[in-house]
Structure 1
Amino acid sequence: MGKRRLEDAIKQLDHPIEVTYRCFELDPTKERDVKENVYESLAKKYGMSIAQAKANTERMVQMAKESGLEYHMDTQILTNTFDAHRLTMYAKTQGLMKEMTERILRAYFTESKHIGDHATLTDLAVEVGLNREIVEKMLASDEMADAVRADEQTAQQYRITGVPFFLINKKYALTGAQPTDMFVQALKKVIAEDEVIILNNQDGAICDDDGCELPKK
């Protein structure tokens, strides 16, 4: 949801903005095959009732809907996401990280696919244009694990404890799925600070490849 709002904000700005996705596991200890559903998991994690967990989740579903996203939490399959992160890092080497990230998120939140399952991840990878045999081999190994761990170590250095987390120019941070207007304001602020401000008047000599132009008296 935060990703979609950021994308909507960028569309409103006439300025080139590069977005880089990073790896972050909310629960690195989670098993690949989880028996409990999302409500049971939230209730256990935050010490709330199942009813409270359902109410909180429904609010998130409604917020996602307002951003043009369709979440199906009732059938969501919880899993360990480390291999999904490895796949996105491999996709990055092929210039397809954005597409792979988007496809995995849709598979998880909308289509209720098991994104910890290697066969499922391979099918998703093929959909975005990656080679099936290479992906199968990569997932069966520990390839790209170091790249994922490096991102997670960077997150620790920035003291990031949750997602979404947006770091702009390694200077400004936005946490949570902020409203689109908030992203627009933040990006405009950074863009304005990055603009070159000419402090002097035009009385100095200006030189380029063709020589120097002296100021007119």
Structure 2
Amino acid sequence: MKIEVWSDFACPFCYIGKRRLEEALEQFPHRDQVEVEFRSFELDPDAPKDQKDSLHEVLAKKYRTSIEQAKAMNQNVSEMAQTVGLTYNLDMAIPTNTFTAHRLAQYAKSQGKEKEMVELLFKAYFTEGKHLSDHDTLVQLASEAGLDEQGVKAVLEGNDFSNEVHSNEMEAQQLGVTGVPFFVINRKYGISGAQPLEVFVETLEKVWQEEA
């Protein structure tokens, strides 16, 4: 069974959805026969790399609401994150463009370190308040993931893996994906959003029975 996960590192529901999928796989008796692959998706390809506004301010502008309401929305999502064991520090989050982070994740995939890199990028953004467009930050995270520092620097300084990111996004368009997280199982079944754990568990079992 192959599960493809379209997500963005600045999407709070993507990190939650990732955890719920992992929890479902822990309960799934055939988990050793499941391959999970992460796919690139930018929620805001035009986002500036350096943003003077806080995450609360960005959200308030996007939804044309007050800062207080934006903070309440972020508090709600932080509480949802806690239910899957994640700590969100959204006061510290640094809104930025995620394209470079996606290129790094694609490089990590080519080196067999995708799982480690993806987790570290999500944690860096939502928990640690790190800048995901800053090259030094990305080099440090990549090093934690077990990637070669010089190789990472070469990727970040050039345009390597840009095509892979764009290709993933074009595939998402072709599949009709308009929001993330979006989970595609065996290119036949889709789960949209950070659904409850039971939805993931039931879908995995259903797909396994049908495919078997």
TM-score, scaled to structure 1: 0.88
Where does residue 154 of structure 2 map in the other structure? 137
The corresponding residue for 1:42 is 59
Distance 1:17 1:133 in 2: 32
Aligned-pair distance for 1:52? 1.4
Instruction: Tell me how far 1:175 sits from its aligned partner.
Output: 1.1
| Partner SS state of residue 190, structure 2 | strand
CA–CA separation in structure 2 for the residues paired with 1:158 and 1:36:
33
Trace 1:71-86 onto structure 2 (pairs within 5 A).
71-86=88-103
> Quick check: 1:14 aligned with 2:43?
no
Q: Aligned-pair distance for 1:99?
A: 0.6
Structure with the higher helix share, 1 or 2: 2
What number of residue pairs does the alignment pair up?
195
Q: Which protein has the larger Cα radius of gyration, Structure 1 or Structure 2?
A: 1
Structural mapping, 1:34-113, within 5 Å: 34-113=51-130
Tell me the CA shift for residue 71 of structure 1.
0.4
- Unaligned runs of 5+ residues in structure 2 are 1-15
In the alignment, which residue of structure 1 is the partner of 2:6? none
Distance 1:130 1:146 in 2: 21
Deviation digits for residues 109-130 of structure 1 (CA, Å, limit 9, x no counterpart): 0000001111100110011111
Following superposition of structure 1 onto structure 2, how do residues 144-159 of structure 1 map, counting pairs within 5 Å?
144-159=161-176
Matched-pair identity in %: 50
Aligned 1:156-175 pairs, distance under 5 A: 156-175=173-192
**2:37 partner SS:** coil
Give the C-alpha shift of residue 78 in structure 1.
0.6
- 1:2 maps to amino acid: G
Q: CA deviation at 1:3?
A: 0.1
CA drift of 1:47 comes to 1.6
2:142 is matched with 125
Within 1, Cα distance between the matches of 2:103 and 2:142?
12
Q: Provide Cα deviations, 1:19-59, integer angstroms capped at 9, x if missing partner.
A: 11000000000111011111111111112221211111111
d(CA) in 1 for partners of 2:92 and 2:19?
Answer: 22
Which residue of 12, 17, 20 corresponds with 1:5? 20
Task: Write the letter of the residue equivalent to 1:74.
Answer: D
Report the aligned-residue RMSD: 0.8
- TM-score, normalised to structure 2, is 0.90
Cα distance in 1 for partners of 2:118, 2:210 equals 30
Which range moves more in the overlay, 15-24 or 46-55? 46-55
Say which structure, 1 or 2, has more relative contact order (CA 8 Å, 6+ apart). 2
Distance 2:174 2:65 in 1: 31
1:72 to partner: Cα distance: 0.3
The residue number in structure 2 matching 1:114 is: 131
SS at 1:19 equivalent: strand
Q: Secondary structure at the match of 1:167?
A: strand
